[in-house]
Amino acid sequence: MKLTKDPDWWRGAVIYQIYPRSFQDTNGDGIGDLAGIADRLAHIARLGADAIWISPFFTSPMKDFGYDVSDYRDVDPMFGTLADFDRVVAVAHELGLRVMIDLVLSHTSDQHPWFRESRKSRSNPRADWYVWSDPRPDGTPPNNWLSIFGGSAWQWDSRREQYYMHNFLTSQPDLNFHNMEVQAALLEVAQFWLERGVDGFRLDTINFYVHDRHLRDNPALPEDERNDATAPKVNPYNHQMHLFDKSRPENLAFLRRFRAVLNPYGAAAVGEVGDSQRGLEVMAEYTSGGDKVQMCYPFELLQPRRLTAAGLADTFARMLAAAPDAWPCWSYSNHDVVRHVTRWGLDDTAARTYAVLLACLRGSICLYQGEELGLPEAEVAYEDLQDPYGIEFWPEFKGRDGCRTPMPWVSDNAAAGFTTAARPWLPVSPAHRPLAVAAQGDEGMLAHYSRLLAFRRAHPALVTGEMSAVSVVGEAASFTRSGAERIFCAFNLGSGPAAVTLPDGRWDSLGAEFGGRTADGNTVQLPGWGFILARKV
């Protein structure tokens, strides 16, 4: 399939996220690799995705499994070589898939040559490339900022006799975006990968790039406003209003510079907005105006609480108020949260309905590997945990390993076709093997997603069309998508029955092949988790 040169290819795209450690192992070491990704791309093309997003594969000490980069321009040996990456790009493009890679720009590993030089002294050429500060007179950190991974966001360094900032692990020091040399170096990294043929980037923690240069304390967040969407409930990170350590207005200037690098290549970026307090507003700022990143995904659909009809309406109303032209990228699951089938307690019928809803929302969508199989969260014993986040907060928070276990390809061996190793880096869940790719029949979840994505592609109004306000009656949410055709979408997001009234006019029912109800008159009775799609005649 030949890729088009459409610079708006990203608008409404279906992006499939690959977690490389867990997708396919080809060398028998129990860890997935780039060669395995290349070998399995046909699965993603058959599913009907438009692009892949590959989580970090750069050289790294792997304290945070690749989100601690020590060389932005090379592949970690556990994943292969640059030649292997080039093969991934070539195979993907042959299959009609665009390639997006995960850029972690807010911080590096403490093993990165930039940080090794920066920490040597206060006067070396990269002394100001990271966020350094003197202690308070009593020796304590310069302010009250907290790390998402627990404790203070400041780590003492005896070489410089200063603290450095880290929003995550102490081994992940934050880069100083107030230094224009840092910005220039990171833009060169992006250009390096664009020259290798990538079609875009997923930008990790995009709103964490810039900190308040005055290092002002964050105010306390009132207890009744706290939630656990960004960090687990047991983490005191939720006790602050994060005004000064992230989501700073100065970030907009850098994003404009980043967009200028993307444009000549027709490339796109989707940013992760890690902010449960004003994530929609930040997303609107970052994607509006056509001069910053094309897409962002906030945490509204990644939250622990199940998405309700009222929650859906509120999310879209707030987004519209913040910026009508903002372009979201919605996802239910990824490598950082409990898989949504488990998180929301969904049975098979409910999971199918939520999949259809995702495909009908205005915006692009991300599917996380295994989501198309209906995988639940894996149970991982404490002794098998790899994630430092889970180890820190166990047992109240079990970390992210349960959503990162190996992809099941076949059901007839212990490793589910992921590896020939006796012991994969994380165990394959016994609950996942019956849901393996090869075990799914014509009526399985994989077939449901394939039919759904084919339907979405056949109706451009669902891909790029306008979306009306969301109407709510009880547990039922409804809206219309409009383009060359007008499609009415209604979803019962509850277990009890619900009645939905179609707008005036004649409507033809759609989507029977994946469970859509038939319109019989203008009032439709939807059973629990039922939905109807209809086209205006």
Enumerate the active-site residues: 204, 272
d(CA 333, CA 369) in angstroms, rounded, equals 9
Report the Cα 264 to chain-centroid distance in Å.
Answer: 25
User: Across the strands, what pairs with 439?
Assistant: none
Q: Residue 333 in contact with residue 403, Cβ under 8 Å?
A: yes
Rg (CA), the chain: 23
| N- to C-terminal Cα separation, the chain | 33
Going 221 to 226 to 230 to 234, the CA torsion angle's sign is positive
d(CA 48, CA 14) in angstroms, rounded, equals 8
**In b/e form, how buried is each residue of 73-102, taking b as 16+ CB within 10 angstroms?**
eebbebbbeeebbebbbebbbebebbbbbb
d(CA 188, CA 224) in angstroms, rounded, equals 44
At 169, which amino acid appears? L
3-class DSSP assignment, residue 168: coil
Strand 14-18's sheet: what is its strand order? 295-297, 268-272, 200-203, 98-103, 51-54, 14-18, 364-368, 329-330
What is the DSSP code string of 203-228?
A: ETTGGGS---TT-PPPPBPPGGG--S
Q: Residue 536 in contact with residue 506, Cβ under 8 Å?
A: yes
Q: Where are the alpha helices (DSSP H) in 305-376?
A: 309-322, 340-343, 348-360
Neighbours of 499 (CB within 10 A): 13
Q: Which residue in 265, 219, 264 sits closest to 242, CA to CA?
A: 219
